[in-house]
Amino acid sequence: MPDSLSRDEVAHLADLARIDLTDAELDHLAPQLSVILDSVASIRGVAGDDVPPTSHALPLTNVFRDDVVRPSLTPAEALSGAPDVDQQRFSVPRILGDEQ
């Protein structure tokens, strides 16, 4: 298990996270991420198999509301921050590759 990240691994993470990184950013961020990772790795082995995980401080379950109609955003409000709008819809760049 690596506690440091190579430049290539950081580039792969950036790709997974959908962030373009320049070469300069990779040079800058990769060593910083390794330092952070090395530090947080200190918790490995701290808790044994018998310790249950906590995802939320207060364990609430089955939170429901009544199934009643309530006001929501109008189409104009929902689209008010959109970078591009077409016929009352969000207009987005192509989502398929050239070959499709």
> Strands 89-90 and 85-86: what pairing?
antiparallel
Tokens 């189409």 correspond to: 75
Token pair for residue 24?
Answer: 């300069």
For position 44 contacting other proteins by CB under 8 A, the verdict is yes
Q: How big is the chain by its Cα radius of gyration, in Å?
A: 23
CB of 87 to other proteins, least distance (A): 16
Looking at the Cβ atoms of 8 and 37, the one nearer to other proteins is 37
What gap in Å lies between CA 61 and CA 76, rounded to an integer?
35
CB of 90 to other proteins, least distance (A): 5
Contact 37, 3 (CB under 8 A): yes
- Identified binder of other proteins from the candidate list 23, 46, 67, 87, rule CB under 8 A: 46
Three-state DSSP at 30 gives helix
For position 39 contacting other proteins by CB under 8 A, the verdict is yes
List of residues contacting other proteins (CB under 8 A): 1, 5, 10, 13-22, 25, 28-29, 32-33, 35-37, 39-47, 51-58, 60, 63, 65, 73, 77-78, 80-84, 90, 92-98
